[in-house]
A and B are shown apart, each in its own frame.
Chain A
């Protein structure tokens, strides 16, 4: 009898677990469907990966060689308010008519020491970084 009760208890507990998992998923609703088509994702462009690497390495000299003054200024605006970059993760890239948008999230610290993340996107055309957002 006690074995049956233990098994029943286990079954009731497992049922609770299943309902709890479903409830946790329902709390975070899925994004609404997009009315527009989605472009296919492409591989990370090597030139954008190289610039992202320079950012993490804090290699100002290499950045100055890789990007012109206008792009450097845009990059400076894009990473605000970060002053120390601890890492940068590639999140995805897509291509349209020769333009590749390569997206990254940089994480690091602000002047006041608080940890933040910011999004940075490189526009790559003909194997060169031609834009930064």
Chain B
């Protein structure tokens, strides 16, 4: 009990340092991202969304978009089923992005080969709001 009491001030100092650096790092990273000081780090959610889209994984796509009604989700499954095997991704290139508050835009260049053998090379810009994809074009 006495040992614990003796360690308590040190634990407080440790936690104080931990919390201070956690908050400063989180705020600093957010500010640096918004001003693109060191460029913008690719979002894990955006990359996962693109991978799910190219691999036709409707469950993942639904999880990465804001909650929608059951019919919209059923349509997502239907579209994925219809597209299964129709395309084959060849390359995926991250072209960068920016953040502004809770909004983030991440842009990709995608190269696919369609079922007919035709190659397509096109961009896809994702807009994310609090980690969910709210716009795709």
Which residues of A does B touch, CB under 8 Å? 8-9, 12-21, 23-25, 27-32, 34-39, 41, 78, 89, 91-94, 96-97, 99, 101, 103, 105, 107, 115-121, 123, 133
Q: Bound state CA distance, A123 and B117, in angstroms?
A: 22
Asked whether any CB of chain A lies closer than 8 Å to the CB of B114, the reply is: no
- Docked-complex contact A39 and B125, CB < 8 angstroms: no
- Docked-complex contact A116 and B103, CB < 8 angstroms: yes
- Docked-complex contact A38 and B94, CB < 8 angstroms: yes
Q: Mark B29-50, 1 if CB is under 8 A from A, else 0.
A: 1000000100011111011100
User: Beyond the given A24-B25, A105-B105, A117-B98, could you list 19 further A-B residue pairs with CB under 8 A, ordered by the A residue number?
Assistant: A9-B10, A12-B10, A12-B13, A12-B14, A15-B14, A21-B22, A27-B26, A28-B41, A32-B48, A36-B90, A39-B91, A39-B93, A101-B95, A103-B95, A103-B96, A105-B96, A119-B127, A123-B123, A133-B137
A-B contact pairs, 9 of them (CB 8 A): A32-B47, A39-B91, A91-B107, A92-B96, A94-B109, A96-B121, A118-B127, A119-B97, A119-B105
- Docked-complex contact B44 and A89, CB < 8 angstroms: no
For B91, the chain A residues whose CB sits under 8 A away are 36-39, 96
Q: How distant is B84 from chain A, measured CB to nearest CB, in Å?
A: 16
Number of contacts between A and B (CB, 8 Å)?
Answer: 164
- Docked-complex contact A31 and B44, CB < 8 angstroms: yes
- Docked-complex contact B17 and A17, CB < 8 angstroms: yes
Contact A20:B22 (CB < 8 A) given known A94-B109, A115-B100: yes
- Docked-complex contact A36 and B22, CB < 8 angstroms: no
Asked whether any CB of chain A lies closer than 8 Å to the CB of B111, the reply is: yes
- Docked-complex contact B92 and A31, CB < 8 angstroms: no
